[in-house]
Structures are given as structure tokens and as C-alpha cells.
Amino acid sequence: MKVKFFNRLPVRLAGVILLMGFIAVPIVSELKRRAVERLVLQQAEVQAATATIAVVEGVQDVLRSVETTVRYLARDLEDRSLSPDDVDRIIRNAIAGSANFSDCSISFEPYAMGPQVERFGHYAYRSGTRLVMRDLAATDYRYWTRDWYSSAVGKGDLVWSEPFLDKGGSNTNVVRVSAPFYRTENGKRVLAGVVAAGFDLAWIKELIGENEFFDTGYVVIFSSEGRLIAHPNPAYIMSETMEGLAEKANAPELAAIYQKVLAKRQGSLSYLSPLLHKRVHENFKPAQIAGWGVVVGYAESEFLQQVSAFRWITTLELAVTLALLAVIVLAATGTALKPLNELTQASDEIGRGNLDCAIKPPRRDDEIGRLSRSMTVMRDVLKQNRELELKVKEHAANLAAANEKLSIENLERAWVNQALEHQLRYNQLIINSISDSVFVLTKALNISRINPAVIHLTGFEQEELINVPLSRFVRIKEGTGGTVLANPLAQALKEGHDLRDQFATVEIKGGGAASVRLTLFPLRDRDKVVGGVAILRSLQP
């Protein structure tokens, strides 16, 4: 019978191997992909941390230069007798000497310039390519009430303002730095006035442009009060604070970053940004001057694109590998199991009664080789048994012809004696050809004949077994409990039915026992049971 393709052993074996490959290889590939993903993200974090340091140092350089200039002006103004022209000259030189200054002012305490001048303050700002001067002591402007003046006077040291739009001056986003200066009067240092400078925040764009590091990278800079100075969305600059934006956008991570910067702490966060609608990684670090904070972020998907490409390459590689594996397995198993297929065909021929079929000799001494030898022995034994059966039939025919010439009594006696003789001889040949242990029993279950396999199994010689009850050597197990001697055998012979595949133990000479399966077939003389044949199949490997 032709075996269907999917029922073939090589195909099923290949299917098992491929199934294991489909399970194991994707797991290994996924672990590899995740390791690569972690490595890529770690490298990106290092680059982002480096960029954050670069931006912070750039901010600090600018802020430090402004702070240094203002402190220098404040020290230079101490204990000097100044005229209005001197004040204007100092202001002009300060603006001309610092490209970051958008304006500068010097304001005095009452009568600090002399008993004739109650209030004096001058202010200059850039307007295109020229400087515009203003009098801060004008009736419509009370400079001593302004935050930049009162804060410096109250603190007695340099102060930074929050970023603001300078509508009355340069009309740009600026931050003002103010510092008090003093004069000595009667041996004491008394406040003389405040010098202030505003600097344009346009330089921040240049600084960010110089430190572009990722395609999706962005920089956020905010003041000590959280006012946004730089942001990827221009609409938020100067109009939003970190905490306000965190509440509006439901992004508590922004508030957490602001609080950590206020505490002079640096670090990083990865989260799903509701503002950018993607997962981002942000490094944050406080500036040492002015209390500003810097955030450098990027979209993690930018770096995971490489990992996605790696996943597709790995998937393609997996498909090709499994396809090649399937071809190799089918070819290898087909070659290795070809002798088994030949043995299967020979078994089918034997099953159809063709005992002249050819069985190729084994090429190797492996499991298939041993199976081939066993198959050859089985075929030869069956062929011998069939030949014996034909001879018995031929002999019976000859006896029948001879019976016609003998008297009925002599004929019957001669036939019985000869038939019995031949029967015993042929039966013994058949018994001896069986590889399992065979006991021929009387109706009383005494052993009358055995085959060599019994001696091989038990170690007892034939003389020690013949005419001895079978129960002396064989015991049938009943379930997992105790044992019953020969009762099932006696019952089977009494009722004249077969007893198949009973678990039993057989005694071994010198002590010990072997586990076997026992099958009993009754022997009949016409309708009477005259004995039985017990076949023991060893369960030992």
C-alpha cells in the first residue's frame, strides 16, 4: 500500500525538527534584537548626555560673560565722581564691548551724583545699527520702583530677572542682570546705585543649532521660575512655564524635571510625550548660573529604526535558514531511513504470504541493521514452517493411501503412531524455532516439553523442568498486589479458552526473577482439551 506523503517518517521527522526550529530560533532572535535595542539606546543616551553637557556649558559661558561684565561695571562705578556724559560714555562702551548686550542702564540713589541732582538714571538700547538713549528719571518712569532695581538693592548682590519681552526698548526677548554699586561716605559703604544690562536671547538659537545631534533631537531651556526660553514648539516660548505646560498637557514628567533642576540635580527620563505624541528620552541638567535648566531630548524611534531593520533582516534570515534546514532534514532522513522503507516493503510482502521476497543484508550494525537481520530470521523460520506443513500434508496423504491396503485396526494404529511421531517431531521443530520461551503443558499443568529459549531465560536444564508443575517456576501477577500461582491457567484450560498477555514472573536459577508476558493456548484432541502451550515473552530490554 502506498504511504501518503505526510505519513512518511522522514517528512514527520523533518516537521518535528522544523517545529522546534520555529520555536527556538525566533526566541533566540528576539533576545538578540532586545540586546541590540538596549545597546543602541545606551549609545544614544551617552550621546544625549554629552550634548546636554555641551548645551549647558554653552549657556553658562554666555551667562558667565554677562555676569562678569555687569560685576565689572559695578566695581568700576564705585567711589567715582561721574558726570552725565561719563555715565553715557560708560553705557555706550559697555554695549559696544559686548555683542550679547541689547541694552544697559546706570541708575543712582537720591543725590548720589551730587547735592544738586536728586535722581539720575540713563538707559541705552540697540535699535538696528544705532543706540537710543533714554532718561530713566523722567516723570513717566520711576526706575527705583522697578524689579530690576529694587531686587538688586534688596539683595545687595547681582540678580537675574525672568525672561521678558522688552517692549519699551529693543522689542526682543531679553533677560536683565542688575547689580548694586557703592560709594564710601564717612568711612562707610553706602548704596550709590544700580547698573543693569539686558541681553538678547537670540543667541540661544545659534547655540542650539551648533549642538544639533539627532534628526529628532530638541532642546528645552527654562528659567529659575520655569519660564520657557527655548522649546521645539515656538508657541510655548515665553508664554508657558514647565509646571503650567505639564498640567495642560498632562505630562507630569515635565514638572518632575523642573523640580529636580531646582534641587540642582541632573538625570534622564524616558516617557510617552503627549506634546510630541511619541516616546522620548530626555536628559536634564541645571546651569550653575541664573538657575536655568537645560533639557536635551530625542525620539527613541529614531534609533529603533535600525533595530526594526535588523528585525526584518533577521526574519528573512530565519525563513531562509528554516527552508534550507527543511531541505537538509528531508534529504538526510530520507537517505538514513531508506533501508527502513525497504524493510517495510519486505514486511508487506511477507504479510501477503510471499516468503521468497528479498531482504537486503544490513550495511551497518545499528538499529536498522539489527532489524534487518531479525526480519531475515523471521522470514526463514516462516518459510521453514510452511515447508514442514507441506511435508506433513504430503505425509498424511501418503498414509491415507496406505490405509486403503491395511486393515482398519492396523491402519488406524499405524497412522496414529506415525502421525504422532511426525507431529511430535514437527511440533518440536516449530517450538525450537520460536525465539520466545515456550512450555508445552499437560492438562494438569505439568511441563512436558520446552524450547531452548526456556533454558536461556531460566538457566535450568531440561531435566530439571520436565514433568515439574509450571507453577514451580512461573507465577502470574494479579494487579499490583500479591500473586496467584497457576489458578488462571487451570481455569483457562478447564474452560478451553486462550489466556493472553498476562504479566508474570519466572524464576531464574540461582535466585531472582524475570518479568514476562504469558500467553496460553489450549491443545485439543477433537473437542477435548488435552493440554496447553504457554509462551513467555521477556519484558527485559
**Model confidence pLDDT, tens digit, residues 120-130:** 999 998 887 78
User: Would strands 447-450 and 474-477 be described as parallel, antiparallel, or unpaired?
Assistant: unpaired
The C-alpha angle with vertex 142 and arms to 136 and 143, in degrees rounded to 5, equals 60
On average, the pLDDT of the chain sits at: 81
Confidence of residue 395 (pLDDT cuts 50, 70, 90): confident
**Percentage with pLDDT > 70 across the chain:** 80
142: nearest Cα among 115, 110, 114: 110
Q: If you write DSSP's letter for every residue of 12-33 in order, what string do you get?
A: HHHHHHHHHHHHHHHHHHHHHH
Cell of residue 350, nine digits: 511477507
pLDDT for the residue numbered 303: 62
pLDDT for the residue numbered 433: 67
**Model confidence pLDDT, tens digit, residues 266-281:** 998 889 988 888 888 8
pLDDT for the residue numbered 181: 94
For domain 62-199, the CATH superfamily is PAS domain (3.30.450.20)
pLDDT for the residue numbered 108: 94
**pLDDT above 60 for 95:** yes
Residue 363 — φ and ψ, nearest 5°?
Answer: -85, -30
**pLDDT above 70 for 438:** yes
CA distance 420 to 150: 139
CA distance 230 to 206: 11
**pLDDT above 90 for 261:** yes
Cell of residue 223, nine digits: 528659567
221: nearest Cα among 296, 294, 165: 294
Assigned architecture for domain 337-433:
Orthogonal Bundle (1.10)
pLDDT for the residue numbered 48: 77
- 96-100, 103-107, 426-430: which has the minimum mean pLDDT? 426-430
Task: Write down the domain spans for the chain.
Answer: 62-199, 204-303, 337-433, 434-541
Q: Which tops the pLDDT comparison, 276 or 283? A: 283
Q: If you write DSSP's letter for every residue of 166-212 in order, what string do you get?
A: -TTTT-SEEEEEEEEEEEEETTEEEEEEEEEEEEETTHHHHHHHHT-
CA distance 326 to 331: 8
**pLDDT above 60 for 479:** no
Across residues 16-43, what is the average pLDDT? 68
CA distance 100 to 512: 106
**pLDDT above 90 for 331:** no
Cell of residue 245, nine digits: 505646560
pLDDT for the residue numbered 405: 63
**pLDDT above 80 for 415:** no
**Model confidence pLDDT, tens digit, residues 6-22:** 666 666 776 777 777 66
Contact, 401 vs 370, CB < 8 A?
no
* CA atoms in the 13 A half-sphere facing the CB of 445: 18
CA distance 139 to 92: 24
**pLDDT above 60 for 2:** no
Contact, 434 vs 453, CB < 8 A?
yes
Cell of residue 82, nine digits: 561721574
pLDDT for the residue numbered 276: 81
pLDDT for the residue numbered 526: 76
pLDDT for the residue numbered 480: 44
CB contact burial 110-141 (16+ within 10 A = b; e otherwise): eebbeeeeebbbbbbbbeeeebeebebbeeee
Q: Which tops the pLDDT comparison, 47 or 448? A: 448
Could you tell me the sign of the dihedral formed by the alpha carbons of 359, 360, 362, 366, in that order?
Answer: negative
pLDDT for the residue numbered 312: 66
508: nearest Cα among 541, 475, 467: 475
Q: Which tops the pLDDT comparison, 8 or 378? A: 378
**pLDDT above 80 for 379:** no
- 86-100, 133-147, 322-336: which has the minimum mean pLDDT? 322-336
The topology (CATH level 3) of 434-541 is Beta-Lactamase (3.30.450)
3-state secondary structure 416-429: HHHHHHHHHHHHHH
Across residues 524-540, what is the average pLDDT? 84
| Single-letter residue type at 385 | N
Task: Calculate the CA dihedral of residues 493, 497, 500, 502 and round it to 10 degrees.
Answer: -40
Question: Do the first three CATH levels of 204-303 and 337-433 match, i.e. the same topology?
Answer: no
pTM for the whole structure: 0.53
pLDDT for the residue numbered 92: 92
10 Å CB burial of residue 447 (0-12, 13-18, 19+) is buried
How crowded is residue 77: how many other Cβ atoms within 10 Å of its Cβ?
23
CA distance 198 to 389: 124
pLDDT for the residue numbered 230: 92
The topology (CATH level 3) of 204-303 is Beta-Lactamase (3.30.450)
* CA atoms in the 13 A half-sphere facing the CB of 406: 14
**Model confidence pLDDT, tens digit, residues 57-80:** 989 998 999 999 999 999 999 988
CA distance 277 to 340: 63
**pLDDT above 50 for 388:** yes
**Model confidence pLDDT, tens digit, residues 144-195:** 999 999 999 999 999 999 998 877 666 788 899 999 999 988 889 999 999 9
